């Protein structure tokens, strides 16, 4: 396989033998060749072997110019690459994407697993011009911050410190697609997949699947698009998952157990009317503004495209106190906010 790697790299300028970086680059080439070799069985079927095209495609991702990693540029950069062969490999070849993604997820888990490893779930939009791509519709595109003609997918990634890699994906199929069998058939969507699923359902499926195949992570992080979905959060809690979610400042919360009290003995059922939560809910904004200044501390969150991102974290005041009778403990002591929140 290393010989194939050397041959495919023929169009890329090679380092000089006197270059001190040559040994490092050769070691990288060896590891990359081993990576390609370990995945070849995933692209073979009883009557078809797409492993050669898979290897070419992986080399193309490494060798084609930055921001030009399409199949035309891959054909120019990789020795032995064939545009039509790559196109068939990506669109019509019978290999299954699921096992490939599972293979990647387990590899990443082996490299990153530990107390610092987190699972991140988020969605992104892929802008499209036409109406033939599966799931394309006029819908919110988070990358652009507006409604756009696009596909939307929910992704899962594992990360530890500054290392991160994708480990799963689910394409969001809008309701209008699910209600149009002819369109789904034309796009090649299997009948069993023509069922509408919300983005929070797709997120839960991703996390459940990762746990099911043995991927290890200490906790899950989700943004406010999922923090407003109580069904998802209850499901994660019931599964014993540790998670942290963003919430909108307008979202209403309870500091004490809000679950309705049981009906008093002898009270007519009709007299109770609709069930109401016990206590009074307040907005996250109001709760945060009511905290004393000394309860917050500033921490560096991460490096962003415009420099270091900082936030304010509420220091635990009573870390071991749990209100009696609370069905699910909501820990607001670890609530964080960005510097511009609440303004």
Per-residue model confidence as pLDDT tens digits over 249-262: 999 888 777 777 65
DSSP string covering 80-131: T--HHHHHHHHHT----HHHHHHHHHHHHHHHH-STT-EEEEEEEEEE-SSS
Q: Is residue 100 part of a domain?
A: no
Which of 100, 50, 57 minimizes the C-alpha distance to 80?
Answer: 57
Q: Are residues 232 and 152 in the same domain?
A: yes
Arithmetic mean of pLDDT, 215-226: 94
Q: Are residues 157 and 258 in the same domain?
A: no
More confident residue, 181 or 299: 181
Q: Are residues 202 and 260 in the same domain?
A: no
Q: Are residues 136 and 230 in the same domain?
A: yes
Of 40, 58, 91, at which residue does a domain stop?
A: 91
pLDDT at 6: 47
Q: Is residue 104 part of a domain?
A: no
Count of other CB atoms within 10 angstroms of residue 43: 22
Arithmetic mean of pLDDT, 119-131: 95
Arithmetic mean of pLDDT, 2-22: 53
Of 187, 219, 238, at which residue does a domain stop?
A: 238
Q: Is residue 270 part of a domain?
A: no
Q: What value, to the nearest 5°, has the Cα angle with vertex 254 and ends 204 and 323?
A: 95
Q: Are residues 221 and 286 in the same domain?
A: no
Task: Say if residues 108 and 114 touch (Cβ distance below 8 Å).
Answer: no
Q: Give the pLDDT band of residue 339 (cuts 50, 70, 90).
A: very low
Where does residue 307 fall: left (phi above 0), alpha (psi -120 to 50 degrees), or beta otherwise? Answer: left
Q: Are residues 215 and 254 in the same domain?
A: no
Q: Is residue 85 part of a domain?
A: yes
Q: Are residues 279 and 216 in the same domain?
A: no
Q: Is residue 118 part of a domain?
A: yes
Residue span of the structural domain in which 126 resides: 114-238
Residue 333: C-alpha distances to residues 29, 233, 234, 337 (Å): 48, 18, 19, 12
Arithmetic mean of pLDDT, 130-142: 95
Per-residue model confidence as pLDDT tens digits over 22-80: 788 888 888 988 888 888 899 998 888 999 999 999 999 989 988 888 999 999 999 88
- Determine the Cα–Cα distance for residues 334 and 296; give it in Å rounded to an integer: 10
pTM of the model: 0.79
pLDDT at 262: 54
Q: Is residue 313 part of a domain?
A: yes
pLDDT at 20: 63
Q: Are residues 137 and 173 in the same domain?
A: yes
Per-residue model confidence as pLDDT tens digits over 80-98: 899 999 999 998 899 999 9
Q: Are residues 147 and 233 in the same domain?
A: yes
Count of domains for the chain:
3
- Determine the Cα–Cα distance for residues 266 and 268; give it in Å rounded to an integer: 6
Q: Is residue 279 part of a domain?
A: yes
Q: Give the pLDDT band of residue 269 (cuts 50, 70, 90).
A: low
pLDDT at 268: 58
Range with the poorest average pLDDT among 62-76, 186-200, 266-280: 266-280
pLDDT at 276: 67
Q: Are residues 121 and 233 in the same domain?
A: yes
Arithmetic mean of pLDDT, 286-303: 86
- Determine the Cα–Cα distance for residues 129 and 133; give it in Å rounded to an integer: 9
Q: Is residue 109 part of a domain?
A: no
Q: Are residues 207 and 126 in the same domain?
A: yes
Q: Are residues 226 and 124 in the same domain?
A: yes
Tell me 49's DSSP state: B
């Amino acid at each position: 396989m290393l010989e194939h790697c050397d041959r495919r790299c023929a169009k890329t300028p090679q380092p000089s033998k006197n270059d001190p970086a040559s040994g490092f680059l050769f070691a990288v080439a060896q590891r990359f060749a081993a990576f390609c070799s370990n995945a070849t069985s995933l692209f073979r079927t009883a009557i078809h072997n797409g492993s050669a095209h898979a290897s070419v495609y992986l080399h193309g991702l490494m060798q084609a110019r930055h921001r030009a990693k399409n199949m035309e540029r891959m054909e120019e950069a990789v020795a032995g690459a064939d545009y039509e062969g790559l196109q068939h490999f990506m669109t019509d070849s019978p290999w299954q994407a699921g096992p490939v993604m599972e293979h990647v997820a387990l590899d990443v888990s082996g490299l990153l697993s530990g107390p610092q490893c987190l699972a991140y779930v988020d969605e992104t939009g892929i802008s499209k011009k036409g109406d033939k791509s599966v799931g394309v519709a006029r819908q919110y595109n988070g990358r652009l911050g507006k409604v756009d003609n696009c596909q939307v997918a929910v992704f899962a990634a594992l990360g530890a410190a500054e290392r991160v890699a994708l480990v799963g994906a689910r394409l969001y199929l809008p309701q209008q697609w699910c209600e149009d069998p002819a369109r789904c058939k034309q796009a090649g969507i299997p009948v069993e997949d023509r069922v509408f699923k919300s983005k929070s359902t797709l997120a839960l499926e991703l996390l459940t699947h990762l746990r099911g195949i043995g991927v290890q992570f200490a906790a899950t992080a989700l943004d406010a698009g999922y923090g407003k979905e109580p069904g998802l959060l209850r499901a994660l809690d019931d599964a014993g998952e540790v998670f942290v979610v963003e919430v909108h400042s307008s979202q209403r919360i309870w500091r004490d157990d809000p679950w309705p009290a049981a009906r008093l003995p002898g009270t007519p059922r009709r007299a109770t009317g609709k069930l109401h939560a016990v206590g009074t809910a307040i907005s996250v904004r109001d709760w945060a503004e009511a905290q004393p200044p000394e309860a917050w501390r500033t921490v560096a969150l991460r490096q962003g495209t415009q420099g270091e991102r900082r936030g304010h974290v509420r220091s635990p005041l009573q870390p071991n106190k749990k209100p009696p009778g609370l069905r699910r403990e909501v820990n607001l002591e670890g609530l964080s906010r960005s510097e511009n929140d609440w303004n």
